[in-house]
Amino acid sequence: MDAKRMTVFFAVALLILLGWEQLFPSPKVQPAAQQQQVQQAAAAPTALNPTVPITVTTDTVAAVIDETSGDLRGLTLLKYNSADDESKPFVLFENGQSGTYIAQSDLIDETGRSLTQGLSFKSAKKQYALENGKAQVRLTAATASGLEIAKTYTFTQGSYLIDVRFDVTNRSGRPVKAAAAYRVVRDNKTPAGQGYFMSSYTGPVLYTPQGDFQKVSFGDLDSDFEKGRDQAEYERKTQSGWVGMSQHYFFSAWILQPKGGQSVCATDACRIEIKRRSDNLYSVGVIVPQPELANGMKQSFGISLYASPQTTSALGKIADNLELIKDYGRVHWPATGLFWLMDKLHGFTGNWGWAIVLLTIIVKIVLFPLNNAAYKSMAKMRAVAPKLEALKKQYGDDRMAMQQAMMQMYRDEKINPLGGCLPMLLQIPIFIGLYWAIFSSVELRQAPWLGWITDLSRHDPWFILPVLMTATMMFQTTLNPPPSDPMQAKMMKIMPLVFSVMFFFFPAGLVLYYVVNNILTIAQQMHVNRSTEQQRKNGEVVS
Residue with the larger pLDDT of the pair 537 and 393: 393
Mean pLDDT of 84-103: 94
The pLDDT of 56-61, averaged and rounded, is: 98
Residue 160 or 484, more confident = 160
99: left (phi over 0), alpha (psi -120 to 50) or beta: left
Q: Which residue from 64, 72, 68 is spatially nearest to 141, judged by alpha carbons?
A: 68
Local confidence band at 420 (pLDDT 50, 70, 90 cut-offs): low
Average pLDDT over residues 115-120: 88
Q: Give the Cα separation of 357 and 436 in Å (integer).
A: 16
The mean pLDDT of 267-276, rounded to a whole number, is 93
532: pLDDT strictly greater than 90:
no
Mean pLDDT to the nearest integer, 188-197: 80
Short-list 103, 72, 65, 149, CA closest to 286: 103
Annotated domain spans of the chain? 3-23+341-537, 104-327
| Cα–Cα distance for residue pair 358/101, rounded to 1 Å | 39
Long-range contacts from 339-347, C-beta under 8 angstroms, 24+ separation: 339/312, 339/437, 339/440, 339/441, 342/437, 342/438, 342/441, 343/312, 343/313, 343/443, 346/443
What pLDDT is attached to residue 41? 44
Residue 329: DSSP 8-state: G
> What is the pLDDT, as a whole number, of residue 395?
81
* Tens digit of each residue's pLDDT (9 = 90 or more) over 461-479: 999 999 999 999 989 888 8
Q: Which residues pair with 300 in a beta bridge?
A: 167
Counting every residue written for the chain, the total comes to: 543
Residue type, 425: L
pLDDT band at residue 320 under the 50/70/90 scheme = very high
Average pLDDT, the chain: 86
| Per-residue pLDDT tens over the stretch 340-381 | 999 999 999 999 999 999 999 999 999 888 888 878 877 877
pLDDT at residue 417 is higher than 90: no
Q: What pLDDT, on a 0 to 100 scale, did the predictor assign at position 113?
A: 93
Q: How far apart are CA 364 and CA 412, in angstroms?
A: 32
Question: Residue 48's pLDDT is what?
Answer: 44
Position 364 scores a pLDDT of 92
| Whole-number pLDDT of residue 418 | 67
pLDDT at 182 over 80: yes
pLDDT bracket for residue 30 (50, 70, 90)? very low
Contact 219, 201 (CB under 8 A): no
pLDDT-above-90 percentage for the chain: 61
Q: Does pLDDT of 110 surpass 80?
A: yes
Q: How confident is the model at residue 51 (pLDDT cuts 50, 70, 90)?
A: low
Beta bridge partners of 108: 114, 179
C-alpha–C-alpha distance, residues 209 and 498, integer Å: 45
- At residue 111, does pLDDT exceed 50? yes
Q: Is the pLDDT of residue 459 over 50?
A: yes
- Does residue 443 contact residue 346 with C-beta atoms inside 8 Å? yes
Q: Which helix (H) or strand (E) holds 167?
A: strand 161-170
Fold of 104-327: Beta-galactosidase; Chain A, domain 5 (2.70.98)
Cβ atoms of 415 and 381 within 8 Å: the answer is yes
The pLDDT of residue 531: 85
For residue 232, what pLDDT band results from cuts at 50, 70 and 90? very high
Name the band, by pLDDT with cuts 50, 70 and 90, for residue 485.
low
CA dihedral for 543, 539, 380, 367, sign (positive or negative): positive
Distance (Å) of CA 191 to CA 79, 390, 413: 18, 56, 56
> Residues of the chain with pLDDT > 70: what percent?
86
User: What is the average pLDDT across 261-269?
Assistant: 89
pLDDT band at 126 (very low <50, low <70, confident <90, very high): very high
| Alpha-carbon separation of residue 63 from 56, 120, 222, 421, 521 (angstroms) | 5, 19, 30, 54, 49
Query: Where residue 293 falls among pLDDT bands split at 50, 70, 90?
Result: very high
Which stretch of 87-101, 259-273, 366-380 has the lowest confidence by average pLDDT?
Answer: 366-380
In terms of pLDDT, which residue wins out, 519 or 23? 519
CB of 318 within 8 A of CB of 306?
Answer: yes
Beta strand segments in 236-352, E: 237-238, 242-246, 250-255, 270-276, 282-289, 298-309
What pLDDT is attached to residue 279? Answer: 95
pLDDT at residue 195 in the model: 66
| Residue 49 clears pLDDT 70, i.e. is over it | no
Q: Does the structure show a pLDDT above 70 at 7?
A: no
Q: What is the pLDDT of residue 23?
A: 38
Report the alpha-carbon distance of residue 273 to residue 540 in Å, rounded. Answer: 70
Asked if residue 188 lies in contact with residue 181, where contact means CB atoms within 8 angstroms, the answer is: no
Q: What is the pLDDT of residue 422?
A: 65
406 vs 415: CA distance, rounded Å: 11
For residue 46, name the pLDDT band (cuts at 50, 70, 90).
very low
Q: Please tell me the distance from the alpha carbon of residue 286 to that of residue 244, in angstroms, as a whole number.
A: 9
d(CA 178, CA 291): 8
| Predicted local confidence at residue 43, as pLDDT | 47
